[in-house]
Every structure is written in structure tokens, then in C-alpha cells.
A and B are shown apart, each in its own frame.
Chain A
Amino acid sequence: MGLLSKKDAALIKDPLADNNPITIQVLGICSALAITAELKAAIVMSISVLFVLGVGNVVISLMRNIIPSKIRIIVQLVVVAALVIIVDQVLKAFAYELSKTLSVFVGLIITNCIIMGRFEAFALGNGPWRSFLDGIGNAAGYGLILVLVGFFRELLGSGTLLGFKVLGDSIEKTGLYALGYENNGFMLLSPMALIVVGIIIWVQRSKNKALIED
């Protein structure tokens, strides 16, 4: 790695796999269940979190020496809230339909445990560059799982991907539907999202035995 030192590269790579915020730390589950019925929503949510966590980590890191430790949670909340409002307004301005699908969950990025967790655990003790990498890495790890879950839920639940009818038309009975295939309505319900996340965790842990704790 020319651009990043080995230690810095680990900041990005670890959260993608062996220290994934969703599958290993089991944080941010609520949004992973709520907005993954469509792939598009999952992608937009991932980008929003990427922005909030990347910028937020840098801001907190820059301020880390002047924040009184007694009120640090409030300062962190103010920073997240400000960033989330920016994301919310941008979405409302340029992707109104989508912001309606995401509804309350954009606002709820504020309470996303991953963000506060990274502020507390990393940005308060590290420089801006490393904090930025950490934020990007964790948000990417979160986004990866979201997109994976969204992919399977939309494909099996609605037979589409990003709105394209990849399996054929379910009403006109073309493509797979001509053979008698039908969409799995269970996939669109939140319990199935939990099961999909569970299966991802299962696959990951059986590939890497070191992750199994008991």
C-alpha cells in the first residue's frame, strides 16, 4: 500500500470483515431491518451514514482536546444532529420520493449506535486523518451488510433490483414467473431481514472460527 500505511489500511479493512459493526459488534441492527426491503433505500442509507460518520469523526477528532469530558456526549450529539439535518435536507431536495421511503430512519441516524460508538471509541483519542479512515471503514462495513441484505430482500421479495424487473414481470407472467415462480412475501417483512442478517453472521463465523465466542 503506497497511499496508506499498514496500520491505516487496517482501519478501513477491519470493519469490512472481521470487526464488522453489524455482524460482529451487532450495532445498528434497527436500521438494517427497517430500510433494507429495497436495495435503493439501503444504498442511500449507507451513503448517508458514510457521510455523517466520515465528517463527524473528523470534526470530533479536531475538537477532541477542547471538549470538556463531562459534556462530551452532548457535543457529539450536536455534531451528529447537524450532519444528519444536512443529509435530510439534501435528500428532501433532490430525492423526495426516496426520503419518504426512508422516512424517520434518516433522522434516526442520530441514534445509530455505530456513530456514537466510533466517536467515543476512536475519534476522541486519535488524529483527524486516522479518524476519517476509521469513520469511512466502519460506515463501509455497515453499508456492505445493508446492501447485501437489501440485495437478497429485494431480489427474492419483489423480484426486482433497484427497481429493474430482473426476474421477469410478476403480473404479466414473463421470465421466471412463466414457470410458476412467485415472490416471497416474507422477505419484505422485517423478521426475514433479521434472519438474513443471522445467516450472514453464520456464514462469516463458520469461515473464520476465531470469531466464535462462547
Chain B
Amino acid sequence: MGLKQNLHNLKEKYKGTKMAPAFNAIHTFLYLPNETTHGGTHIKAADDLKRTMNIVIMALVPCLIFGMFNAGYQHNAAINGFTEGMSFFSGDFWNMNNFLIGLTKILPLVIVSYGVGLLIEFIFAVIKGHEVEEGYLVTGMLVPLIVPVDLPLWMLAVAVAFGVVIGKEVFGGTGMNILNPALTIRAFLFFAYPTWMSGDKVWVHGAVEAAGTADAISGETILGSLAQSQPLSYSVSDMFFGFIPGSVGETSTLLILLGALFLIFTKIGSWRIMVSAVIGALVMGFIFNQVVALGWIGETSKFHGLMKLEFWKHLLIGGFAFGAVYMATDPVTASQTNKGKWIYGFLIGFISIMIRVFNPAYPEGVMLAILLMNVFAPTIDYYVVQGNVKRRLKRLKAKTA
């Protein structure tokens, strides 16, 4: 008799007691309930919301752990100098010293994110009289991964409160929100406290405190330096493995790729959105490359640095990969129809790179692109459905005529 059977037996024991909801919450965290749907419904699925959320969290854990090591590595590297051409399993990166620095900075972010978010979910559950919804489980994990490592905790708390209340609860809670809550939180931080969310200080731990002193270190992201037309100073392997400064969990394209495969394999994330977002980004990047190649944009243009970047490198830098895999695929805010998903994803990629290049004030465009397309997703669906209705009406007419 395994753990699963034990849990099922315990459930029978707790049935009807006050403990039941609390036990069920833990029980269904990893296992399917051993009962099927009662009554007249005919739709049966083996995965409930909690399992869906859980799988996304599992896909995020590697990014989180990598982010902890990277936070420490970037801090030490900024002081002692970078190691050139590291392999992925290099001891310079994966060591206890790096990990501890990252742990002490990032664990509080995770705790504050979950603490504040779940507290608000709990308050709303009590007021509205429903069970606590699982929607925040993924948001709470995403948020620490998409903020700079040195973000003050109280700012994160304010932003999480804002994002959960205004981004989700006012629309009716999990499943009813128009905008991705995690990105709402990030957008709030970005517009409310721009000095902590952009610039060349915040991306490396310690850079803010050291600014202006003799120990000053630079914490510029690749996008930040490219926007100022400085040459690319990181190798492709560094960018792919993720040994670069950036938000906590979004630097490693390799791990994000593995996460994407995991999400596609478990059928949680939509491969259509991911693929079309990548295509959209490549197309936009390619157009910009051609503009430079044709000589329409000179060396003096402020867009030159980013436009001339080879189009496929756009996928490796900034938060694009992370956004396309974990944020754009949010089933609540994305388009629902298959054709709609292609359009939705393509436009996310296309607009991300456009914002990235054209607006140096918003170095990473993927956040704004996804939020924008979140708003348009229902419209896209509407026209896809209407187009289908029209085609079938025509077919009907042809048949009867």
C-alpha cells in the first residue's frame, strides 16, 4: 500500500469533519482524487487546477535555483572579474558561496510574494465565501523570478497586493482576470518605482549600495548596454546558459527551454503560443537586420545597437524566452482558439522586439507586449470564431442551393 492509497484512506476518515477541506487541499496537491465526477456532467478530465499549477511550479524550480546561483555569481564576478567561456557545469558558478548569497537575497522575495499574495487570496475567500483558489500558486512563484534581485521587500509587498487585488480579485478571482497577475505586479513596480526596476544598478546584488563609492560595480543588463550602442560583451554560450545579469530567474535560456519542453510534454503549456512567439520575434528581428543591412539606419542612430544584433540573439537575451514560455501561455489570459493562439503568440513576439528596439526607456518589451496582447486575446478569439461561423454558413448555403 503506497502513500497514495494511505491518503485515500485518510480522506474517508476525515470526511465530514472540519479537517476535510484542509486535508483535501494537501491531498490533491500531488495526487488525483480517487473519485469521479457525480451527476449529469459528461466532461471528465484527469487534471484539476491544482495539478496544473503544480506542474508549472515544477517547471519553474530549476529557474529559481539557477537564479540563486546566478545572483551570487554575478555579485562575485562584478567584484572579482568574469570567468571567460565557462561550461554549464563550471565550478566557478555552481558553488556554495554563490548559492548562499543568492539564497539570502531570493528566499525573502519568494516568502514575501507568497505571504502577501496568499493572505489577500485568503481574505477574499473569506469575504466571498468560497474555498481558497489555487491561482496564486504559480503567480507567487513567477513574481520573484521576474524582479531584480535587490528589490526592496516592501515594494514587492505593495506591488503584490496591488496586482492580486486590482489585477485579479476585482474581476472575480482566479480564471476571471483579463491581465496576467504576475505581469500586472511587475508592470506596477516598473511604473511606480522605475529607479529600482531599470537602469544599470539594480540587476547585480550590491550594485546599488556600492554606487558612488570606490567599490562601485556595474550591473547593466545586455539590453541596457546595447540600447546605448555599446558592443555585446558576453559570448553566445554565456547568454544561452544564463551567466548574465538580469531579473532573478529569466537569464538561463537553456533551463527555460527545458521547462518549455516539460510544459509541452505534460500538455500544460500551449506549444502553439511558444512557437509562434518565437517566430514573431525572429521575424521582427530579421526585419530590423535587413533595415541595417540596407543602410537605412546609420551608426549614429540610437536604434543602431539593438537593430544590428543578429536576429536570433534576441531570443537569448532579456526576458523574452521566460515571458514567451511561462507568461504568454497562461491559459486564463491567452487566446483560447487554436488559430487565435498562433496570432496571439506571433504578435507577442513581434511587438516584444519592436518595443525592445524602439523604446530605450522600456528595455524589455516582452512584459508590455504580453499585457497588450492579453487585452486583445478575447477580440482575436471573437473574430476567429466569427470567421469559422461565416465559413460554415457559406458551406451550408452551397449545399442547400
Contacts and interface: CB of A to CB of B under 8 A. Distances in A.
B166 A186 contact: no
**B170, B192, B194, B195 — which one has the most chain A CB atoms within 10 A of its CB?**
B192
Contacts, number: 23
A185 B152 contact: no
Interface string B316-352: 0000000000000000000000000000000000000
A202 B170 contact: yes
B188 interface: yes
A32 to B, nearest CB: 18
B185 to A, nearest CB: 12
Interface residues of B, number: 13
Interface string B176-200: 0000000000001001111110000
Contact of B166 (A181, A182, A184, A195): A195
Interface string A176-209: 0000111011110100000100100010000000
A198 B171 CA distance: 12
B152 A187 contact: no
Contacts of B170: 198, 202
Contacts of A187: 192
Contacts of B152: 180
Contacts of B107: none
Contacts of A189: 191
Contacts of B195: 182
Given A195-B166, A202-B170, A180 B192 contact: no
**A182, A185, A186, A195 — which one has the most chain B CB atoms within 10 A of its CB?**
A186
Interface in B190-217: 191-196
Nearest to B170: A202
A181 B194 CA distance: 14
B154 interface: yes
B155 interface: yes
Interface in A127-180: 180
A185 B192 CA distance: 4
A186 B154 CA distance: 16
A200 B168 CA distance: 17
A149 B191 CA distance: 19
Nearest to B189: A186
Contacts of A186: 188, 191-192
Contacts of B155: 182
Nearest to B191: A186
Nearest to B127: A206
B194 A185 contact: yes
A185 B193 contact: yes
A184 B193 CA distance: 6
A56 to B, nearest CB: 36
A107 B156 CA distance: 41
B192 A184 contact: yes
A23 B158 CA distance: 25
A152 to B, nearest CB: 13
Interface in A23-60: none
B167 to A, nearest CB: 11
Contacts of B191: 185-186, 189
Contacts of B196: 182
B181 to A, nearest CB: 15
Contacts of A182: 155, 193, 195-196
A179 to B, nearest CB: 9
Given A186-B188, A202-B170, A180 B154 contact: yes
Contacts of A198: 166, 170
**A182, A189, A198, A202 — which one has the most chain B CB atoms within 10 A of its CB?**
A182
Nearest to A206: B127
A212 B155 CA distance: 33
B151 to A, nearest CB: 11
Contacts of A184: 158, 192-193
A185 B191 CA distance: 6
23 contacts: A180-B152, A180-B154, A181-B154, A182-B155, A182-B193, A182-B195, A182-B196, A184-B158, A184-B192, A184-B193, A185-B191, A185-B192, A185-B193, A185-B194, A186-B188, A186-B191, A186-B192, A187-B192, A189-B191, A195-B166, A198-B166, A198-B170, A202-B170
Nearest 5 A-B pairs (CB), nearest first? A186-B192, A186-B191, A184-B192, A185-B192, A180-B152
Given A184-B158, A186-B192, 14 more contacts: A180-B154, A181-B154, A182-B155, A182-B196, A184-B192, A184-B193, A185-B191, A185-B192, A185-B194, A186-B188, A186-B191, A187-B192, A198-B166, A198-B170
